[in-house]
Structure 1
Amino acid sequence: MRLPTLAVLAPLVALAVADKLVVEVICLCSYINGQWYTAYGNYWAIATDGCHGPDQTGVPGLQNYCLDFSRNRGHFYFQNQGKRCLDVVEFTQTSYTPSQTTSRMVWDEVACTW
């Protein structure tokens, strides 16, 4: 029995659509470095508040992305795709001393409502 091509490719496409950005901050300085996770690997990314171009990440095909820390949301565009959105789904903070605190934010892909 032969399966239609779409039935075979559908599970692979589902794996490729989820993207995630993890930001770790030391000393409550500024949100600087992040790791962008895709189905194809993970890449370093600048994770400051505001918009960033393709030169600020190594993610293949990522055109731009914007992070809004005051609203805990963001959006991004890959080549030949519409707007996709991120939301903060996890925030943890660990204090070692009053001057050394580590924060970790996980931004996961969600349906766009903004």
Structure 2
Amino acid sequence: MRFEFTSLVAFLATTALADRMEIFTKCGDTSCNSYDGWFYTDYGAYRVNANTGCRVPGVPHMEEFCIDWDNRRLHFRFGGQDKRCMTQDSESAYGCGATCYKTTWREIPCYWRMAPIPEEQLATEVQSSAPSTTAEVKGKRAVNF
């Protein structure tokens, strides 16, 4: 039995384990720094800057990484894949010269939107580019849209 290479790659991609993260955060008097993050895939562990915001990290083939600390969630996207999401799973203190925390993150289905659309920008009426016409078919009027 012969398998096509693309079929094999697609099968392996759908059976991969979920990715995960660990982030080590150090807090001072006025702010926290989460630059020491580790993103784990089936292929290795990669250091990432996990401070709030979006960036292209040093994870092979990852094109987008955005973290929202206020809501304890993040999303990321590898080339050729849809957006994938994670949420904070746990938080524990660890010893350092300041106040330090280790958080773990697990992959979940994406359920939040990228950004809400302001109400004044929502369309109130759909306009078709095709003209509306009326035709008579066997003695009955039919409207074509």
Shift of residue 11, structure 1, vs aligned partner: 6.7
Q: Which structure is richer in relative contact order (CA contacts within 8 A, separation 6 or more)?
A: 1
Measured in 1, the distance between the counterparts of 2:33 and 2:100 equals 11
**Pair 1:15-2:16 in alignment:** yes
Indicate the residue corresponding to 2:25 in structure 1: 25
Measured in 2, the distance between the counterparts of 1:48 and 1:15 equals 27
Residue type of the alignment partner of 1:42? A
**Pair 1:108-2:109 in alignment:** no
The structure with the largest alpha-carbon Rg is 2
Give the alignment's Cα RMSD to 1 decimal: 2.5
Indicate the residue corresponding to 1:38 in structure 2: 41
Indicate the residue corresponding to 2:83 in structure 1: 83
**Pair 1:52-2:50 in alignment:** no
Identical aligned residues as a percent: 30
Which structure's residues are more often strand, by fraction? 1
Measured in 2, the distance between the counterparts of 1:62 and 1:12 equals 15
- Name the SS of the counterpart of 1:70 in structure 2: helix
Instruction: Provide structure 2 residue ranges, at least 5 long, that are not aligned to the other structure.
Output: 113-145
Once superposed, which parts of structure 1, at least 4 consecutive aligned residues long, lie more than 4 Å away?
Answer: 4-7, 9-12
Shift of residue 95, structure 1, vs aligned partner: 5.8
TM-score normalised by length of structure 1: 0.77
